[in-house]
């Protein structure tokens, strides 16, 4: 018999932290905490299998579930000594979702369940606080009606506001217990009016409704979007946790809070969190009341007036601190914790591994490794490679002039510049149209996820460091300023005012999430200084990885940047980019327009010295006193028509400049036009048709090598790469021509040092790798084109339907971002196997954009590649990913 | 030690007919005939290895060759009792090329070698005919100077003409022996004037020069072109045969001739050939004198006045007939023979398997099989599948009005219509520009090969049935009329006159190669009636083949044609062709322009009945009383923009017709435009984006099935095919939708009979065939697109460089014509293996154009495919090819 329900509480539990797939993160950790002897309100977890069975069976629960739930309730009753529905000593429970991966705010929660007209009065007697009891009851009616019954919470808020207006009251706390009783009556009438039935009084009926709602919320729109953005499969399902309520709102000895055991923004080893006295947990997370700090130091740092928890509740704070230590040492990682204090007693409601910024992740990993808490490998595995991107990008120039317009909390670090928008839909639209936008909201809610995703940065007028905006922005790596209280948004007018100053939608602002500042206009940026933690992590990664990391670069700036980031060579130097520069595009066009080989050679002769200088510049950067890093140079790849102007106007202008008749240029342009340029006359096909082009390029490479060797005494290492090969014979012919150039140069004195290889970027090249390897000393997988041809998918055109494909689960991820291991990867493995069979020591690399994608890098490691090559800013990501791949492989 | 030279003659030989690769076709068969005891002038063959070694070693002959040649000459001297260079009894030899495959007229030949001033006089004494001896000497000087020394033969013809003019002589035969001696002196002077050295008098020097020239001619332009057209590798090399001369020009008891043991045009079992009394072999082949018939019957049939050989030389004719019988029974195939009669003695100079028309090949194969000379399998293997194409095409309608303008010999059957051109270069140019041309020449020479290839038909004013034009045209399958003596071509004026009537270049004529007639203008054509031999061969092929043959067709005409040709089903019905027809293109455009799904559905509802009627028409043709043949129907494949007008004018016109603003249509057209439509939003990607299109098509198919079942009582078999699948999930989604339509229809009464499968036309589909087969009941390999994506080669664009690729040997053949077995074939094999692992009984077929290519069909058989599908006219070719594949496979 499947066990559908797992109990916890009273110092033991049926589950534990390893059972996250079955119990969800929250349930597994509640069980673990209970077993550790921490004060956890007793409860039970309905497993994720209940959820998946429910959906697989057309929304029918599995047999036996009802009995298990009844036993779970009995278990809670036993441990608490309370009884569900008993007016004398009523048991109240919370019903919360809890998926395998955290999906904050995406699914439904019901608190205070078990209250009805009788138990509310019973709770009043028992607690001696009728106001608290009725406040809890009206909260329950609001939440339950909204979440379970579909009566919008505005209905109840309107009743409350109207009541206060009628009574001339300002604050909720001004309402008397009898007033609350009256309001509760109005609430119940409203439910009956809306639905034609009464608010349920039977706690078991309430429970079933709440369970239905929480499982149902797994499929709500918000959750579906969140899962898509975060790559969470729908098939995982959610667990549901039913747990005895504890109350942070039972007066001034009660409180509720959230905390991180370290600073999730910087990684500092100090407690970080917020709490509210006399409140329920939702009040903290929702960001409606501004919470107080946990520690005295934090209060002082923030210049806060309200006492910290350390000061207000020193004894409970001491218990909390001890619990933090116990949890961090048990879980060996920074924890994100929810707790409640009920009349002076601490209860733990949740612990989980805390989300953190990239900077914090680095610092925490390094600190814990250096303290011996975790190994270096574990430290490396803790850092999400893509998150490093946040550290590599520019920050505001300290010396740049700036015009500060608003100040809030530094909720998520990073700087960004963009147009102000006030609406998430609009943010998404503008971003799709290519604009950089800054989303400014009073506060954010789960409905804003898509807008936050589209924005460069997020600014909110309300909410703290753990508000929705802050948590989500940190998770997404977006800069965020939260609680910038001076901002007043007037959406209708399309503007905001900040202490009288008007900023209109579309105005440019600069956001600094590290300081919580917002500036008018653009503020100059500077390159990041990478912290010592970064260098340590990179050094550890370099120790552990076995693949080399190269870069795709051709401008001296990019080459230098990549080398600074630790690139160990160039994996792809795209020579055609050099032809697009103004000083040589004219010559190149001359070559295209030439009538014969002699004409082409004359034009190429003009390009030779320029291209030689380009290569020499690259070789200089890649050389030092003792050695030179290898540089893979790809010969001309794109079709010739890409170099000609296209509009009639441009053609006329360019023709005049070059001095040829416009009609001739138009004719040549028409002649060269292709139906499918991606599959056209390009790559080595040009080399076959016009050998003089590749010969000129080879000469430029070899002569540049000798020039740099003369200067430095070190011979640069050139790896000449032939693109778009589909058969061994192409390579054989072109290799012979290039070797001819090298021999010619060698005959005049010094021989250049080079090898010749090819890109594997067509399915046929992968299949014929065995033949091709006879002529290739290296293979570089060009996974951009290999993906296009393997899928029969043009990257330029796929944008129209690929999002649908991802949404419908036809492709798991965009195959141009993450390598399609099943198809393209299969071809790579075939090519590796066949290539090595011919030439066991063949050098293997990847130079498609997948070379900078962590999942793809793991694939490359496992496929036996020698290196990956990626864009300069991806080099650190690749170094870490390669180390993670090696660690995972060594751990099997 | 390699044996470079093989002797033959005197009833024995060192070689035999199986050694064609080494000795060439001519050498191997001379050896074989010698061993059979036939009268073969003695000689020796220098092997093809001499040629390949010569070219591999930078045009240096192998060591030891000179000795071997000297021994060969000694061997001939011994057998003939003559001596090389001996004035008293001079040995004369011929030096001829002889490659593995026949290359008629492409390489050089030297006859009468060994003559010089002394031996010519010696020959005069010996033969008692000084005129013959000097005539031979002057022929030798002309030929040797032209072929070996590079002095153009016109030089000598001019001298001869001038001499005759000066002497007032009309014919060569009017020249006296002394006259010839004088002319020979002038010839020798001309050589000395041109080259500054004397015509060589040393026979051994002459021999070396001739050998050099013949091996050298392997690489001449004509030979290179011919090899490319006929897929003959340069690496094969040629052999050279040196053989004692025999003389057909030693008076009226001498003759020379060529013959086929059966009629190579019709296949009739009658001798077929020509001879000339008192002539050398070159005179027959060159078509300069009109030759006489071999048999009395032939003479009578042709209304010839000159006696046949049977009548003129009855005794020798009897020997010849006996030799024919012996050779045909020995070689078990029709032979093509050259012979010479020297003063009443028959000498055999060559035998080889004769080229024949498709009709003749069929008849000979059937006759020989029915006579028990060969097996049915052998008969089938003797027929070149592609040659059947010649039999399937229209002939002139007997009842059509016609305007006969010229009459010649029926040199190669078939009818054609085209524009007259008089020059081979122009023929090629016009044909490339898309025109159908008829090449009209006084006579053709090897320099005309490219023009003949480009032409629809060839007409010559001179030459017989075995003239160059006739032989080559039959080999190429081009209709040919030769010897249409009334034609006078005036190339300069760009016209020809035929008994006073002028036909200008560019005028249309109709040629009937079966009757030897040329008509002005276009004559109506009729479908061919296929002979009984054709049906027999097809029936034998059907017995032996194991693959089914289907057709790619969608119009009722094509479907009916294919069924008449024996198609056993439809392998590819391209539904989009149906949308291009005028009555539905408007609706389809409405659908494209619709703003939403409802709009699209409204337009599709209008297309449904039309498309249903299309399918019903096809099902009717493919059904008979008892069963229905399977019809694979591919759902919409091309991108939507293909259905919209492109020019602004067209857009405006169409927009007006449909009643939408032109701006809207332009906007939609721009929106749909793609950079690489081949890799764009097409195939099943449209089905995913717009499920309503595929649902309409499925409904049309299923409703048509039920309609035809109601009419005929037989349920048509539909195989619904989803194009451009790259993942199992696409197929899963679309299959579900189609099944939904079928269930809906079934719920109303009758369930349609169908299976659902997919095209495998993307590399990823081949690689993921294991997954895809879970949802596909059949795979059809779409090798057109699979070739494009595997090679990364757009068929629309490849024309610019693919010819270079073939010329440089990068691809062996155009991969869009013959399947690339190494690359695309590898993917097919992967897909077959993986698909069968999932679904062992999966139905496998091919519907790319390769399905009609014989070599590709053999591959399909070996890969385990169940059927091939091809265009209607290819169906018979495919039936025969499939049988040949099965025969070859069974013979291992």
- What residues form DSSP beta bridges with A459? A440, A481
pLDDT value for B244: 97
Active site residue A847: yes
What phi, psi does B37 have (nearest 5°)? 85, 10
Burial class from Cβ neighbours inside 10 Å (0-12, 13-18, 19+) for residue A476 reads middle
- SS3 state at B32: helix
What is the C-alpha to C-alpha distance for residues A300 and B819, in angstroms, rounded to an integer? 79
Cβ-Cβ contacts under 8 Å, B821 against chain A: none
pLDDT of residue B624 exceeding 80, the answer is: no
- What's residue B506's pLDDT? 94
Q: Which residue in the set A680, A767, A822 is minimally distant from B794, CB to CB? A: A680
Q: CB distance A762–B791 less than 8 Å? A: yes
Q: Is B681 within 8 Å of A801 when comparing Cβ atoms?
A: yes
Instruction: Give yes or no for a contact between A26 and A72, defined as CB atoms under 8 angstroms apart.
Output: no
Mean pLDDT of A652-671: 83
| Contacts with A674 from chain B: Cβ below 8 Å | 794, 796-797
What are the structural domains of chain B? 5-244 (3.30.1490.20), 255-356 (3.30.470.20), 393-526 (3.50.30.10), 545-638+682-890 (3.20.20.60)
pLDDT (0 to 100) of residue B373: 93
pLDDT for residue A862: 97
Residue B15 · residue B23 · CB < 8 Å: yes
The pLDDT of residue B814 is 84
Dist CA B457 CA B420 (whole Å): 10
- A vs B: CB pairs below 8 A: 156
Asked if B804 lies within 8 A of A763 by C-beta distance, the reply is no
Which pLDDT does position B583 carry in this prediction? 72
Token look-up 């000179």 returns B66
Question: Does the distance separating the beta carbons of A733 and B681 come in below 8 Å?
Answer: no
- What integer pLDDT is reported at residue B13 of this predicted model? 95
To the nearest whole Å, the CA of A707 is away from the closest chain B CA by 35
Q: How far is CA B442 from the centre of its chain?
A: 24
Cβ proximity of A552 and A847 under 8 Å? yes
Looking at residue A642, its pLDDT comes to 86
Please report the pLDDT score of residue A284 as a whole number: 65
Answer yes or no: is pLDDT of B463 > 90: no
Residue in B681, B768, B792 closest to A679 by CB: B792
Question: How many C-beta atoms surround the C-beta of residue B749 within 10 A?
Answer: 7
Helix (H) or strand (E) holding A292: strand A292-293
pLDDT value at B649 more than 90:
no
Q: Is residue B418 over pLDDT 60?
A: yes
Q: What is the pLDDT of residue A427?
A: 92
d(CA B256, CA B278) in angstroms, rounded, equals: 7
pLDDT of residue A61: 95
Q: Chain B contacts of A809, Cβ < 8 Å?
A: 729
| CB-based contact A190:A162 (threshold 8 Å) | no
Q: Which residue has the tokens 């857009």?
A: B651
Q: Pick the residue of B763, B769, B814 with the most A CBs within 10 A to test the interface with A by mutation.
A: B763
- Cβ distance A247 to A340 under 8 Å? yes
Cα–Cα–Cα angle for B643, A433, A848, nearest 5°? Answer: 80
| pLDDT reported for residue B391 | 83
pLDDT on residue B285: 59
Q: Give the dihedral sign, CA A172/A175/A178/A179.
A: negative
- Asked if B689 and A804 come within 8 Å (Cβ–Cβ), the reply is yes
For B649, the token pair is: 């004018």
Q: What is B727-741 written as a DSSP string?
A: SHHHHHHHHHHHHHH
The residues with which A717 forms a beta bridge, in sequence order, are: A630
Nearest-Cα distance to chain B for A689, in Å, is 7
Average pLDDT over residues A325-345: 94
Q: What average pLDDT score do residues B361-368 get? A: 95
User: Can you say whether the dihedral through the CA atoms of A311, A315, A318, A319 is positive or negative?
Assistant: negative
The H or E element containing residue A870 is: strand A867-870
Choose the weakest-confidence range: A413-427, A797-811, B181-195: A797-811
Of B51, B847, B860, B870, which is the active-site residue? B847
> Could you say which of B761, B797, B804 has the minimum Cβ distance to residue A680?
B797
Distance of alpha carbon B403 from alpha carbon B424, whole angstroms: 26
pLDDT score, position A865: 98
pLDDT band at B75 (very low <50, low <70, confident <90, very high): very high
Per-residue pLDDT at B685 exceeds 90: yes
Reported as a single tens digit per residue, the pLDDT across B691-721 is: 999 999 999 999 999 999 999 999 999 999 9
Whether the predicted pLDDT of B474 surpasses 90 = no
Q: Which band of pLDDT confidence, cut at 50, 70 and 90, is reported for residue A22?
A: very high
Minimal CA–CA distance to B721: which of B872, B558, B841, B571?
B571
From B676, B681, B801, residue closest to A678, measured CB to CB:
B676
Give the tokens for residue B729.
Answer: 């999930």
Question: Do the chains contact at A827 and B763, CB–CB below 8 Å?
Answer: yes
Q: Is B631 a catalytic residue?
A: no
Provide the shortest C-alpha distance from residue B236 to chain A (in Å): 19
For A829, nearest residue in chain B (alpha carbons)? B767
Average pLDDT on B832-854 reads 96
Highest mean pLDDT pick, A164-173, A198-207, B435-444: A198-207
Instruction: Report which secondary-structure segment, H or E, holds A566.
Output: none
Whether A397 shows a pLDDT value over 90: the answer reads: no
For residue range B561-593, list pLDDT tens digits in order. 899 999 999 999 999 878 877 678 889 999 998
Selecting among A480, A573, A684, A847, the annotated active-site residue is A847
A841-887 per-position pLDDT tens digit? 999 999 988 999 999 999 999 999 999 999 888 899 999 999 999 99
**pLDDT tier for residue A286 given thresholds of 50, 70 and 90:** low
CA distance A446 to chain B (A): 28
Assigned token pair, B519: 């008509």
Tell me the H-state helices in B44-129.
48-56, 65-80, 117-127
What's chain A's average pLDDT? Answer: 91
- Name every chain B residue with its beta carbon within 8 A of the beta carbon of A796: 674-676
Give A551's Cβ-side CA count (13 Å radius). Answer: 28
- Residue numbers in B near A803 (CB within 8 A): none
**Backbone torsions φ then ψ of B625, nearest 5 degrees:** -65, -30
Q: Mean pLDDT across the stretch B659-674? A: 84
Q: Is the pLDDT of residue B471 over 80?
A: no
Whole-angstrom distance between the N-terminal and C-terminal Cα of chain B? 34
In Å, how far are A344, B579, B587 from B604, measured between CA atoms? 71, 11, 7
Judged against a pLDDT cut of 60, whether residue B248 lies above it is answered with: yes
Is B688 close to A808, i.e. CB distance below 8 A? yes
Residue closest to A68 by CA, chosen among A90, A96, A49? A49
> Nearest Cβ partner of A727 from B764, B796, B811?
B811
Residue A71's pLDDT band (cuts 50, 70, 90): very high
Q: Half-sphere exposure (CA, 13 Å, Cβ side) for B743?
A: 6
**pLDDT value at residue A466:** 67
Q: What mean pLDDT value characterizes chain B?
A: 91
Quote the pLDDT of residue B525.
Answer: 86
Alpha carbon distance B85, A521 (integer Å): 105
- pLDDT above 70 coverage of chain B, percent: 99
- Top pLDDT among A314 and B813 is at A314
B463-483 average pLDDT score: 79
E strand intervals along B456-604: 457-460, 480-482, 487-490, 495-498, 501-504, 508-512, 517-520, 525-526, 548-552, 570-574
Interface test with B, best of A676, A800, A803, A825 (most B CBs within 10 A): A676
* Residues facing B490 on adjacent strands: B495
Q: Quickly state the pLDDT bin for B287 (edges 50, 70, 90).
A: low
Compute the average pLDDT of residues A384-393: 83
Residue A679 to residue B764, Cβ atoms within 8 A = no
Inform me whether the pLDDT recorded for B475 exceeds 70. Answer: no
Q: How confident is the model at residue A583 (pLDDT cuts 50, 70, 90)?
A: confident
Q: What is the pLDDT of residue B392?
A: 81
Q: Is B639 exposed, middle or buried (0-12, 13-18, 19+ CB in 10 A)?
A: buried
Query: Does the pLDDT at position B177 exceed 90?
Result: yes
The predicted-structure confidence for A156-167, as pLDDT tens digits, reads as follows 989 998 999 999
Span of A99-103, A308-312, A746-750, B519-523 with lowest mean pLDDT: A99-103
- pLDDT category of residue B398 using cuts at 50, 70 and 90: confident
How close does chain B come to A548, measured CA to CA in Å?
A: 29
Contacts of A813 in chain B (CB under 8 A): none
The ipTM, to two decimals, is 0.79
Top mean-pLDDT range of A124-128, B23-27, B278-282: B23-27
Q: Return the half-sphere exposure (C-beta side, CA atoms, 13 A cut-off) of residue B350.
A: 24
What distance in Å separates the CA atoms of residue B197 and residue A881, rounded to the nearest whole number?
80
Q: Which two structure tokens, joined as six digits, stand for B199? A: 């015509």
The alpha helices in B673-751, defined as continuous H runs, are 684-689, 691-712, 728-746
Would you say residue A287 has pLDDT above 60? Answer: no
pLDDT beyond 80 at B380: yes
Contact residues, chain A, for B788 at CB < 8 Å: 679
The partner residue sitting opposite A791, judged by closest CB among B726, B788, B826, is: B726
Place of tokens 């080398």: A563
Helix axes A117-127, A130-144, angle to 10 degrees: 150
Mean pLDDT is lowest, of A615-624, A666-675, B348-357, B877-886, for A666-675
């Amino acid at each position: 018999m499947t066990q559908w329900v797992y109990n916890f509480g009273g110092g033991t539990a049926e589950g534990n932290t390893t059972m996250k797939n079955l119990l969800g993160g929250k349930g597994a950790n509640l069980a673990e905490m209970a077993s550790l002897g921490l004060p956890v309100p007793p409860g039970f977890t309905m497993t994720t299998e209940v959820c998946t069975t429910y959906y697989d069976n057309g929304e029918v629960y599995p047999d036996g579930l009802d009995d298990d739930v009844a036993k779970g309730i009995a278990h809670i009753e036993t441990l608490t000594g309370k009884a569900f529905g008993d007016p004398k000593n009523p048991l109240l429970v919370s019903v919360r979702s809890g998926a395998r991966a955290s999906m904050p705010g995406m699914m439904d929660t019901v608190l205070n369940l078990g209250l009805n007209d009788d138990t509310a009065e019973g709770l009043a007697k028992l607690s001696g606080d009728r106001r608290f009891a009725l406040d809890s009851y009206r909260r329950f009616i609001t939440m339950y009606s909204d979440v379970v019954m579909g009566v919008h919470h505005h209905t109840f808020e309107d009743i409350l506001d109207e009541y206060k207006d009628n009574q001339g009251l300002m604050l909720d706390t001004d309402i008397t217990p009898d007033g609350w009783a009256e309001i509760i009556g109005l609430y119940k009438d409203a439910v009956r009016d809306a639905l034609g039935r009464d608010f349920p009084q039977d706690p078991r009926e309430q429970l079933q409704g709440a369970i239905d709602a929480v499982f149902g919320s797994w499929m709500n729109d918000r959750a579906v979007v969140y899962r898509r953005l975060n790559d969470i499969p729908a098939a995982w399902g959610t667990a549901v946790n039913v747990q005895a309520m504890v109350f942070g709102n039972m007066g001034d000895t009660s409180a509720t809070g959230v905390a991180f055991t370290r600073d999730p923004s910087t990684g500092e080893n100090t407690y970080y969190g917020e709490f509210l006295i006399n409140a329920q947990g939702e009040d903290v997370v929702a960001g409606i009341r501004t919470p107080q700090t946990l520690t005295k130091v934090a209060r002082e740092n923030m210049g806060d007036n309200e006492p910290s928890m350390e000061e207000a509740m020193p004894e409970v704070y001491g218990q909390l601190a001890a619990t933090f230590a116990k949890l961090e040492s048990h879980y060996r990682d920074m924890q994100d914790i929810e707790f409640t204090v009920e009349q002076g007693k601490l209860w733990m409601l949740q612990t989980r591994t805390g989300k953190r910024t990239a900077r914090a992740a680095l610092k925490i990993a390094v600190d814990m490794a250096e303290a011996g808490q975790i190994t270096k490998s574990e430290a490396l595995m803790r850092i999400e490679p893509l998150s490093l991107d946040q550290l590599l990008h520019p920050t505001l120039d300290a010396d740049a002039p700036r015009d500060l317009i608003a100040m809030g909390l530094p909720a998520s670090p990073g700087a960004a510049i963009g147009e102000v928008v006030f609406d998430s839909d609009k943010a998404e639209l503008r971003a799709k149209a290519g604009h950089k936008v800054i989303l400014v909201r009073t506060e954010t809610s789960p409905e804003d996820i898509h807008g936050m995703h589209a924005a460069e940065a997020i600014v909110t007028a309300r909410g703290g460091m753990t508000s929705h905006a802050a948590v989500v922005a940190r998770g997404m790596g977006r800069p965020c300023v939260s609680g910038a209280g001076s901002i007043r948004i007037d959406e209708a007018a399309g503007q905001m005012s900040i202490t009288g100053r008007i900023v209109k939608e579309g105005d440019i602002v600069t956001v600094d999430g590290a300081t919580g500042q917002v500036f008018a206009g653009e503020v100059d940026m500077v390159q990041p200084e990478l912290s010592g933690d970064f260098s340590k992590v990179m050094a550890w990664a370099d120790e552990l990885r076995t693949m080399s990391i190269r870069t795709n670069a051709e401008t001296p700036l990019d080459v230098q940047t990549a080398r600074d980031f630790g690139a160990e060579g160039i994996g792809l130097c795209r020579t055609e980019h050099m032809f697009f520069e103004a000083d040589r595009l004219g010559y190149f066009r001359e070559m295209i327009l030439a009538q014969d080989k002699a004409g082409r050679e004359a034009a190429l002769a003009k390009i030779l010295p320029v291209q030689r200088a380009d290569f020499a510049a690259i070789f200089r950067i890649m050389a030092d006193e003792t050695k030179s890093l290898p540089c893979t140079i790809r010969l001309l790849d794109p079709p010739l028509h890409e170099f000609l102007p296209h509009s009639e106007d441009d053609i006329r202008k360019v023709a005049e400049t070059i001095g040829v008749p416009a009609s001739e240029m138009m004719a040549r342009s028409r002649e060269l036009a292709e139906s499918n340029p991606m599959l056209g006359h390009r790559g080595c096909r040009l080399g076959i048709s016009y050998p003089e082009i590749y010969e000129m390029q080879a000469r430029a490479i070899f002569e540049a090598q000798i020039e740099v060797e003369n200067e430095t005494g070190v011979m640069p290492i050139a790896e000449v790469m032939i693109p778009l090969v589909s058969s061994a014979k192409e390579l054989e012919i072109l290799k012979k021509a290039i070797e001819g150039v090298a021999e010619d140069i060698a005959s005049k004195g010094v021989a250049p040092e080079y090898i010749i290889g090819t890109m594997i970027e067509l399915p046929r090249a992968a299949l014929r790798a065995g033949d091709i390897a006879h002529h290739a000393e290296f293979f570089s997988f060009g996974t951009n084109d290999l993906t296009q041809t393997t899928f029969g998918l043009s990257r330029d055109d796929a944008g129209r339907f690929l999002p649908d494909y991802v949404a419908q689960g036809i492709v798991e991820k965009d195959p141009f971002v993450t390598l399609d291991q099943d198809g393209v990867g299969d071809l790579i493995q075939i090519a590796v196997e066949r290539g090595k069979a011919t030439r066991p020591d063949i050098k293997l690399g990847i130079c498609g954009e997948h070379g900078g994608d962590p999942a793809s890098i793991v694939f490359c490691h496992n496929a036996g590649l020698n290196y990956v090559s990626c864009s300069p800013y991806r080099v650190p990501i690749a170094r870490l990913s390669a180390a993670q791949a090696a660690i995972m492989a060594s751990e099997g």
